[in-house]
Chain A
Amino acid sequence: MNRELTADAIGAHERASATPVRRDPVPTAKARRARAALPEQAGLRSQQEIFCAAVMTPEDEPELLDEASAARLVTPGGTLSALERLAIYRTAYHARLIECLSDDYPVLKHALGAAEFEALCRGYVAQHPSTGPSLNDFGRHMADFCRTSLTGVAGFASDLAQLEWAIVLTIHAPTAPELATEELATIPAERWPEVCLVANPSLRILHFAYPVNAYFQASRSGEAPSIPSEATTSVAVYRTGRSIWRLPLTAAMVVLFESLANGTALGPSLALLEPLLANDPEAAPRVMAWFRQGVSSGLFSGIVAA
């Protein structure tokens, strides 16, 4: 069982006060006639509502305002019409949120291809507009959105999105000390069955219908993996200090580590494995090796005081 380091830059979307620049603006249809109008004597609230609605109109839909109604809201300039000036904000709004999702889901983007990923993101932005001051959790619906909005690769894409979102959550989870194996060694052998461990607060054990962790690793290694066939897999995602790890788990490891992470003592947790390993004469030393490696890998951050 070898854990894999997740590169530092992944999953850390960074806000900025800059305006994003799109090198290939999306062609957008003119409104045949305005679908909204600024009221006479419009106050600040009305101006903001209609400005916001115009900016947030999806780029694959016709503009909300026509030229005349746009010019009642903002003035035309020397080189751009009122609508063209508003379009700068509309483009930036969509570009910024798509950029945020691209930062959160780089491997999903690679898997789907840039064009399909961008189309997915446009649908996402329309269905799940941001309502809070932070973009840290903006992408939280992506796994569900993939499942309901994609065809063909929905299951794989949803699993992959779930893995990438777990990495984002791990980045923002509390930092905890790692349980030292020396600390475990101070416990007398007869008391080990009673020992309860504190899970690393960033730990997430995920279960997939597709081998997305292997796909993720291959993609990050610069390979061009094909979309895999279904195969049940599990992985632990967690952080130690500033490093984020992915640790592939077998079914038996899942039973052991989920039980320990839930606060069950070591003795009863090991007992859960007996039905799974009944015919394996090497089970006992192997399980203890998993346990030691789980501890040394940083899955746990302490021992529950007796």
Chain B
Amino acid sequence: MANRFGLPNLGIGLGLRTVHYSTIVESQPSVDWFEIISDNYVQTVGRPLDFLEAIAATYPIVMHGVSLSIGSTDPLDEEYLRELGALRDRVGALWVSDHLCWTGVAGRNAHDLLPMPYTEEALRHVIGRVRQVQDFLGAPLVLENPSTYVEFAGASMREWEFLGRLAEDADCALLLDVNNVYVSAKNHGFDPLTYLEAVPFDRVVQFHVAGHTDHGTHIIDSHIGPVVDPVWRLLAIAHERAQGASVLLEWDAEIPSFEVTHAEALRAREFIGAGP
């Protein structure tokens, strides 16, 4: 079951981070692909783009954003969408992803992946906006399941139902973050396998794995440290169900050397086989 969008399985990639720019440009390590945080390369015409263009000349690039705010009740930011489209064309990014979340309202931006209330009203709202974005970009939008720390009191469905119905009705692609599934499962007391049962895997074009911080009472999706084995095992199950898709490690705090980060990403091979 290859994904229905015809998007390639790029293998095992890394989130591109500033601290690794020089190593990558100078030593051109063997990495299958890089994912960029789109927002680090919009509203700039300077050095970040300089590095990105040098790296994009050698490696496949995928864009991952944190500011689309697909679930917000504020209007979509068309200028931001234009910038995303221009950046995609500039570096030849293979797809554009963001999160099932909202980042602000009434003109204020929290710069956080705020959770959606999983209601029929919210579902209709997000479906309409995903269609708008896809029309704008002329390509499928890839949406990621977020880590969440609350559930809304008025929710009428669980996240996996919301995500599945959204993907089908808006005809969008999915980025399944198995660490986020694990984090939310612990925070809300559900079985992560129940979540995976509901995922339409023919829409999954990419996986994320990452480290997290366990506070005992709750888990924070901190992207610190290595990936724990239960998350790798979720990846193994999900990757098999999707019959393969691109895998990416996110490491965003206390980032170690490029070599250590890459070695951690390549641990995915132990769980999914040798690559695409």
Residues of chain A touching chain B, judged by Cβ–Cβ distance below 8 Å, are 8-9, 12, 14-21, 42-45, 47-49, 51-52, 55-56, 71-75, 77-80, 82, 84-86, 88-89, 92-93, 96-97, 100, 129-137, 170-175, 202, 239, 241-242, 244
| Contact residues of B between 8 and 47, Cβ < 8 Å to A | 17-19, 21-22, 37, 39-40, 42-47
How large, as a class, is the contact surface on chain B? 35 or more
Cα separation A61 to B119 with both chains bound (whole Å): 32
Residues of chain B touching chain A, judged by Cβ–Cβ distance below 8 Å, are 17-19, 21-22, 37, 39-40, 42-51, 64, 66-67, 69, 72-73, 77, 80, 99, 102-114, 117, 119, 121-122, 125, 144, 147, 149-154, 187-189, 210, 213, 216-218, 220-224, 250, 252-253
Asked whether B39 lies within 8 Å of A89 as measured between CB atoms, the reply is: no
Asked whether B222 lies within 8 Å of A19 as measured between CB atoms, the reply is: yes
Cα separation A16 to B72 with both chains bound (whole Å): 19
Cα separation A75 to B111 with both chains bound (whole Å): 23
Min C-beta distance of B75 to chain A, whole Å: 12
Contact residues in B for A133 (Cβ distance below 8 Å):
39, 42-43, 67, 69, 77, 80, 103, 109
Asked whether B221 lies within 8 Å of A19 as measured between CB atoms, the reply is: yes
Asked whether A172 lies within 8 Å of B105 as measured between CB atoms, the reply is: no
Contact residues in A for B218 (Cβ distance below 8 Å):
77, 79-80, 85, 88
**Which residue of B40, B46, B152 contacts A202 across the interface (Cβ within 8 Å)?**
B46
Cα separation A135 to B50 with both chains bound (whole Å): 19
- CB pairs A–B below 8 angstroms (15 shown): A17-B252, A18-B221, A18-B252, A18-B253, A48-B73, A52-B104, A79-B218, A80-B218, A88-B220, A97-B111, A133-B43, A134-B39, A134-B43, A172-B46, A241-B50
Known: A17-B64, A175-B46. A48 touches B19 (CB 8 A): no
Asked whether B45 lies within 8 Å of A172 as measured between CB atoms, the reply is: yes
